[in-house]
Amino acid sequence: MTGEPFDPVAIGAAITERALVRLPLMRSTIHLVTAEDALALRTLTQVPIERSTLGVFGRRLAGVDREALVGTARALVEEEPLIASELGHRLAQRFPGHDPEALA
């Protein structure tokens, strides 16, 4: 989409169609990138993101099976796009007793 005029409707449609993806990149700043770029970039940022997440939310995630959490979260966002607060509330239903913000 480089060089094209900014069209918020087109951007929204591309996000809904999963052609564009929002993800944390440099210093966890959210960036909008193509789905293809997101796959490559996520591989590079996975370890720092995990470290940061555990540093901030580690205590609130104590006792949570991380593989189950990731699998459940993935299944939920594959069904439909969700903002973090929506994802957290849905995850809290499946992981009761844990903070929705930390789960998301």
pLDDT mean over 58-65:
93
Q: b/e per residue, 21-55, with b = 16+ CB within 10 A?
A: bebbbeeeeeeebeeeebeebeeeeeeeeeeeeee
Cβ 77 vs Cβ 87: under 8 Å: yes
Whether residue 1 is contained in a domain is answered as yes
Whether residue 73 is contained in a domain is answered as yes
Residues forming beta bridges with residue 20, ordered by sequence position: 34
- pLDDT of 1 > 60? The answer is no
| Residues 3-23 pLDDT 10s | 778 899 999 999 989 899 998
Whether residue 50 is contained in a domain is answered as no
Residues 2 and 26 in one domain: yes
Task: Report the sign of the C-alpha dihedral through residues 47, 88, 83, 20, in that order.
Answer: positive
Q: What are the tokens at 85?
A: 């607060």
Task: Give the CA-trace dihedral at 21, 22, 24, 28, to 10 degrees.
Answer: 160
What per-residue confidence (pLDDT) applies to 2? Answer: 63
Residues 29 and 69 in one domain: no
Whether residue 52 is contained in a domain is answered as no
What is the domain count for the chain?
Answer: 2
Whether residue 48 is contained in a domain is answered as no
Whether residue 38 is contained in a domain is answered as yes
Range of the domain at 83: 58-104
- pLDDT of 92 > 90? The answer is yes
pTM: 0.70
